[in-house]
Amino acid sequence: MLNHLSGETSPYLLQHVNNPVDWYPWGEEALALARAQNRPILLSIGYSACHWCHVMAHECFEDAQVAMVMNQHFVNIKVDREERPDIDQIYQIALYILTRRNGGWPLTLFLTPDQKPFFGGTYFPKAPRHGLPGFLDLLPRVAEAYQVRGEQIERQGESLLKSLANMLPSGNPEAPAFSEQPLDQALAELENRFDSVNGGFGDPPKFLHPTELEFCLRRYFAAGNAQTLHMASHTLQKMAEGGIHDQLGGGFCRYSTDEYWHIPHFEKMLYDNGPLLRLYADAWLATRNPLFEQVVEETAAWVMREIQSQGENGTGGGTIGGGYYSTLDADSENEEGKFYVWDRDEVAQTVSPEEYAVVAPYYGLLDNPNFEHKYWNLEIAQPLAALAVNAGISQEEAQQRLESARSKLFRKRELRVHPGRDEKILTSWNGLMIKGMARCGRVFERDDWVQSATRSVDFIRSTLWRDNRLLATYKDGKAHLNAYLDDYAFLLDGLLELMQAEFRQADLEFAVALAEVLLEQFEDKQAGGFFFTSHDHEKLIYRPKPAHDNATPSGNGVAAHALQRLGHLLGEFRYLQAAERTLGLFYPAISHYASSCCSLLTALELSLTPPQIVILRGQRHALAEWKNALRCISPYTLVFALPLELVGLPPSLNKPVATSSAVNAWVCHGVKCLPEISDLQQLLSICEMR
């Protein structure tokens, strides 16, 4: 028998549709049932690429004995954390309040019928193991506790709600005086956590930290700080050389299980690879490291080959492609990493002896196996130049052999069973990839990458933009779920990057519409800042205002930063004021926990020093030369090339048509603009001074 998940679009929920557990999706039907029967809710949150979610599913949710106990005592609700980040965010915080331990996935929480959590954890095995209680033993004990200790559980629930409410920052009637102190403090904190040998921040498991790395690069471009460039470029180098980077197919896995970037958790997330594309492009601008350009090339190719949809049913009945899918699983054939790792003999049989003489030492195949003591996860173990010297061949010959071997190994790997792909299209994560692809396309003059970003925007506008509001997710012809702060903020941020790569008036109009919804539906007009959910969203037990960066940047930080740039571009002070109110609300937090709030720090940086904006007007063919010349200046100078045929532009962009030259440029810092410039070299000298 199918449970109640069969009508869902989430691949994660559909993975559980044949479980003997009587699962419900989150919704009024399940919540009303729990209230009517006074039964506790068993809430299970995960996502389709989550390895330990699969493990718990196999051990517990597919087991008839466990399912019988779950169905007897609980209303069982399954949630995809990628579709419902609002629910996930609330209950991850709640678990920490209950246990003083960080959560993760799978998240397993027991709630009262009115949604208050009273017990929980993450992964539970069926039987006791490794110090963890067995789920089969735990279930009846939790059910009994709910029936016997109802008053105590109710008091605990009320206390938890107060704790959640106290986590919201309170507005300060007096706006604080902003300074660079939090910027300096964040750098000091990052330097203290920086692994000077292996790159990255903190202890394993080692996550990618793109927001912190971008902050380091920003400080280099803004202040010429060599140490911040070193922290970013050294980390990006080590990641690119490591096993966390797919050496054959491109793209990065979610995190490294060790401090050396050797062995990843093999799932690949859209939200990691979008920001990393931009990071490697900007790091290339600062260093001209050819490895960084190679990483961009291979990651962008992977995105377009494996992650971008080629055709989806549009609302008008036709087909439209372009949206980016969410994740690739860590597992294939029920084994983590099986698609990616190699047996040494298989490599030797796939390439020629001459190629093997290069590829084996280059990828560490001459060392001991690094995965489960019998397989090799490929990583760069020796510089190619040193390897060529040892082999007595030129570096050019070594490079040719390596490329030939890589091509053969990639084709061989393509014959394997691929990891599962979560093909839901999330608006917020698409915004991150739009920004990454557009930025790389501009830096490296790759129109195909820019067009990839454009196709995603067009897909979102045609399928996920309804009645001037965004929807959060799309799959199998169905767009649904009220969009969140991150959807609006990340997409607006991506549009601001895309308009610099290829200006389209429709994108500017879309950006303005998104900004207006942010102010109307998400901003707290009294205290400042933006709620994660809109004013007309489903009422949950808590309505957070996220300030800290996690795996993805803070929606408040990205919203403030995007509104600042759009406000300066259009001369719209409402956007600038909303950003200032946001910074004012969170300034105590970013002053105390600076390096955890790098997204908000970018907005603070822009508040202290308004952005440099360059507007180009001229004939389309002449604009191309000027755009190309400006592509390698600071990545934080905004450049918009507006062909003469554009009409109906906002006043701030409707610059007069060039007369004495093919192109005219206007350079503005905040509200101060220089006289028009008709000489490209003069423009470059002004921009490079910034």
**DSSP line for 436-504:** HHHHHHHHTT-HHHHHHHHHHHHHHHHHTEETTEEEEEEETTEEEEE--HHHHHHHHHHHHHHHHHS--
Q: Are 613 and 636 in contact (CB under 8 A)?
A: no
What pLDDT is stored for residue 314 in this prediction? Answer: 44
User: Does the pLDDT at position 571 exceed 60?
Assistant: yes
Q: Give the pLDDT confidence of 598-621 residue by residue, as tens digits.
A: 999 999 999 999 999 999 999 888
Least confidently predicted of 38-42, 318-322, 685-689 = 318-322
What pLDDT is stored for residue 2 in this prediction? Answer: 80
Q: How far is CA 224 from CA 219, 220, 221, 606, 632, in A?
A: 7, 4, 6, 17, 16
Percentage of the chain lying above the pLDDT 90 cut: 90
What is the residue whose two structure tokens read 């350009």? 293
Q: Which residues have a Cβ under 8 Å from the Cβ of 686 and sit 6 or more positions away? A: 667, 674, 677
Q: In what order do the strands lie in the sheet containing 75-80?
A: 23-25, 75-80, 41-46, 107-111, 117-121
Residue 111 phi/psi, 5-degree rounding, is -120, 155
CA-nearest of 615, 542, 549, 605 to 579 is 605
Q: How far is CA 88 from CA 80, 84, 103, 532, 540, in A?
A: 8, 6, 10, 12, 11
What pLDDT is stored for residue 689 in this prediction? Answer: 55
Q: Which residues have a Cβ under 8 Å from the Cβ of 648 and sit 6 or more positions away? A: 505
Q: Are 581 and 600 in contact (CB under 8 A)?
A: no
Name the pTM for this structure: 0.96
Q: Are 51 and 267 in contact (CB under 8 A)?
A: yes
Q: Which residues have a Cβ under 8 Å from the Cβ of 374 and sit 6 or more positions away? A: 343
Chain CA centroid to CA 10, Å: 19
Q: What 3 state SS string does 124-169 have?
A: CCCCCECCECCHHHHHHHHHHHHHHCHHHHHHHHHHHHHHHHHCCC
Q: Give the pLDDT confidence of 156-202 residue by residue, as tens digits.
A: 999 999 999 999 998 777 778 999 999 999 999 999 999 999 999 99
Q: What is the mean pLDDT of the chain?
A: 95
Residue type, 165: A
Q: How far from each other are the two terminal CA atoms of the chain, in whole angstroms?
A: 66
Q: How long is the chain? A: 690
Q: Give the pLDDT confidence of 456-475 residue by residue, as tens digits.
A: 999 999 999 999 999 999 99
Q: Which two tokens stand for residue 478?
A: 């169905």
Q: What mean pLDDT is predicted for residues 429-445?
A: 98
Residue 469 phi/psi, 5-degree rounding, is -140, 145
Q: Are 207 and 169 in contact (CB under 8 A)?
A: no
DSSP 8-state symbol, 172? -
Query: CB atoms < 10 A from the CB of 535, how many?
Result: 11
| Beta strand segments in 483-591, E | none
What is the residue whose two structure tokens read 């679009």? 9
Q: Which two tokens stand for residue 597?
A: 């709030």
Label residue 482 exposed, middle or buried (CB < 10 Å: 0-12, 13-18, 19+): middle
What is the residue whose two structure tokens read 């209680």? 133
Percentage of the chain lying above the pLDDT 70 cut: 98
Domains of the chain: residue spans and CATH? 11-166 (3.40.30.10), 340-414 (1.10.10), 612-689 (no CATH)
Distance CA 616, CA 641 (A): 5
Q: Give the pLDDT confidence of 311-349 residue by residue, as tens digits.
A: 755 444 445 689 999 999 999 998 999 999 999 999 999
Label residue 479 exposed, middle or buried (CB < 10 Å: 0-12, 13-18, 19+): buried
Q: Which two tokens stand for residue 258?
A: 């060790």
User: Does the pLDDT at position 309 exceed 80?
Assistant: yes
Residue type, 242: G
| Beta strand segments in 351-422, E | 421-422
* Cα dihedral across residues 145, 151, 152, 156: positive or negative: positive
Q: What mean pLDDT is predicted for residues 232-244?
A: 98
Q: Give the pLDDT confidence of 43-80 residue by residue, as tens digits.
A: 999 999 888 999 999 999 999 999 999 999 999 999 99
Distance CA 330, CA 420 (A): 8
Query: CB atoms < 10 A from the CB of 305, how many?
Result: 11
Q: At what angle do helices 427-443 and 447-463 cross, to 10 degrees?
A: 160
Distance CA 429, CA 69 (A): 37
Helix (H, G, I), strand (E, B) or coil at 545: coil
What is the residue whose two structure tokens read 């069982």? 76
Q: Are 186 and 164 in contact (CB under 8 A)?
A: no
